[in-house]
Amino acid sequence: MAGFGWGYPHFLENADIVEYLYAAPVGLLPCPTTSIVLGFSLVFGGLGSRAWSVTVAVVGLFYGAFGAAMIGVWIDWTLFRGALAMLLVGIFEGKFVVSRDGCR
């Protein structure tokens, strides 16, 4: 998700791969910015906060669905799917603990 947000391809048609690294609209548009926040939140297990996980997930679900359905930016379904994963992290945060015996 973080990589997707960093190289958000929608506004850079026919761009060189290097252009994606410096011209992505991170911080300017909500979808790539939310994607990066979601990506790092997923990597760090929702930062150990159910409230953070659910809040970021709801924002991602909204912008992903709105961008894809209303604006027609179909790659925003990727953001939507990442937000669903974040929502699952928020819902099940702390439910599965990995121990020496495996998951319990």
- For residue 43, pLDDT beyond 70: yes
Q: How many domains does the chain have?
A: 1
| CA angle (83 as vertex; 79, 49 as ends), nearest 5 | 140
What is the amino acid identity at position 71?
I
What's residue 42's pLDDT? 85
What is the amino acid identity at position 73?
V
Q: What is the pTM of this model?
A: 0.71
What's residue 46's pLDDT? 79
Tell me how far apart the alpha carbons of residues 87 and 82 are, in angstroms, rounded to a whole number: 9
Domain enclosing residue 56, as ranges: 2-103
